[in-house]
């Protein structure tokens, strides 16, 4: 079992981290958000499944689709595109022109600009430099099932769309790519232009 609290210290309990794998949380995120939105108070403006805290700043040209929670003191830069289900913790910064899809991004994390984060769980105080990507799909493979490596075991997520689990305090350099199924431990550093591919095609053997 991958215990998300080993990656992310303050992972919200309402997301059910104790009994679910990361990709299962992403799979169930829409229903989890629908339930959570019903519990939110008057500090949120809620319209058509989108809940925005009154202290959050959403700049011009931002597109918000699906079920989304944007928590206190978040900043969403101009022309960003958020495709729910999405949960943004407090003081998250989404830079101009970023696209976020079906993801959890936690407190004090920042995406610079022109980033893509797909089907991922991102911890607190993570920094994405410009153009870095959490890819969520193997377009180039015939077998599109996504595997992760955990404690030298290859685990089949039984999903064709899962991005990354990124621990607290990680730093992702400009134009770096995290391939689908990436697990980054706390305090990891990914260099600029680096490709992280923990499960390559040659060594995909289930145990």
> Which pTM was predicted?
0.95
Q: Does domain 4-203 have CATH number 2.160.10.10?
A: yes
Query: Beta partners for 57?
Result: 75
Per-residue pLDDT of the chain in tens (207 residues, 90 and over written 9)? 899 999 999 999 999 867 799 999 999 999 999 999 999 999 999 999 999 999 999 999 999 999 999 999 999 999 999 999 999 999 999 999 999 999 999 999 999 999 999 999 999 999 999 999 999 999 988 999 999 999 989 999 999 999 999 999 999 999 999 999 999 999 999 999 999 998 864 444 443
Rounded to whole angstroms, how far apart are CA atoms 48 and 56? Answer: 18
Domain boundaries, the chain: 4-203
Rounded to whole angstroms, how far apart are CA atoms 25 and 22? Answer: 5
**Which helix (H) or strand (E) element contains residue 122?**
strand 121-122
């Amino acid at each position: 079992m991958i215990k998300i609290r080993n990656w992310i210290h303050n992972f919200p309990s309402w997301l059910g981290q104790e009994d679910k794998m990361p990709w299962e949380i992403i799979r169930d995120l829409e229903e989890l958000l629908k339930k959570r939105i019903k519990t939110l108070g008057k500090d949120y403006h809620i319209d058509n499944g989108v809940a925005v805290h009154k202290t959050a700043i959403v700049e011009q040209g931002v597109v918000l689709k699906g079920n989304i929670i944007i928590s206190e003191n978040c900043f969403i830069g101009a022309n960003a595109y958020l495709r729910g289900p999405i949960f943004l913790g407090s003081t998250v910064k989404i830079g101009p022109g970023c696209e976020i899809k079906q993801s959890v991004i936690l407190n004090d994390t920042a995406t610079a600009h022109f980033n893509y984060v797909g089907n991922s769980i991102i911890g607190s105080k993570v920094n994405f430099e410009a153009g870095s990507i959490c890819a969520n799909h193997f377009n180039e493979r015939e077998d599109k099932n996504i595997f992760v490596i955990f404690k030298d075991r290859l685990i089949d997520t039984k999903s064709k769309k899962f991005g990354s689990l990124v621990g607290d305090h990680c730093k992702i350099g400009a134009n770096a790519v995290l391939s689908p199924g990436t697990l980054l431990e706390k305090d990891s550093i990914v260099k600029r232009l680096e490709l992280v591919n923990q499960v390559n095609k040659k060594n995909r053997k289930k145990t």
